[in-house]
Amino acid sequence: MNSPFVRDATLLIFRVVLGLVFIAHGIDKLFFPGMDDTIGQFSAWGIPQPQIFGWVVAIGEMAAGALLVIGLLATFAAGMLALLSALSIYFVHVSNGFFVEEGGVEYAAVLCVALLMVVVFGSGRASLDGVLSRVES
């Protein structure tokens, strides 16, 4: 399993699935139920400046998720999303226990750790980052 092909293919699948999850969450916040409801929920959770952070999170999830899918600035995008995930754990999930059914930290923690894997190991050669780094060499 120490084959470069297997490693890069796995990183590609990992990045794409992770990016699509965040794109879906951003689209959900923006359109279903919409920003008014998203901002209201952020306010109810006690998130500071919910009007600003609602938009930052929705657009950030979509943009950084897209960057993960194509593998452009992937470590930056993953780092930003890991920070957003850590903030959601702190502001929303930690007081609700562990399991996702109760609004707990389970799902957000898995996403945060998965994003840290991209930060540490990069996007792999099957990414725009990988292509651009080979062109520069």
116 vs 2, more confident: 116
Half-sphere exposure of 115 (CA within 13 A, CB side): 26
pLDDT in tens, 14-60: 999 999 999 999 999 999 989 999 999 999 999 999 999 999 999 99
> What pLDDT score was predicted for residue 133?
86
Q: How many separate domains does the chain show?
A: 1
Which residue matches tokens 């990183």? 11
Angle (CA) 38-42-56 rounded to 5° is 70
Check residue 20 and give its pLDDT. 98
Contact 27, 62 (CB under 8 A): yes
Confidence at 127, pLDDT banded by 50, 70, 90: very high
Sort 3 into a burial class: Cβ within 10 Å, 0-12 / 13-18 / 19+. exposed
Q: Per 3-state DSSP, what percentage of the chain is helix, strand, and coil (rounded to 5)?
A: 80, 0, 20
The answer, yes or no, to whether residue 80 has pLDDT greater than 70, is yes
Mean pLDDT, all residues of the chain? 93
Q: pLDDT value at position 136?
A: 66
Host domain of residue 68: 4-136
Quick count: other Cβ atoms within 10 Å of Cβ 110? 12
pLDDT at 137: 59
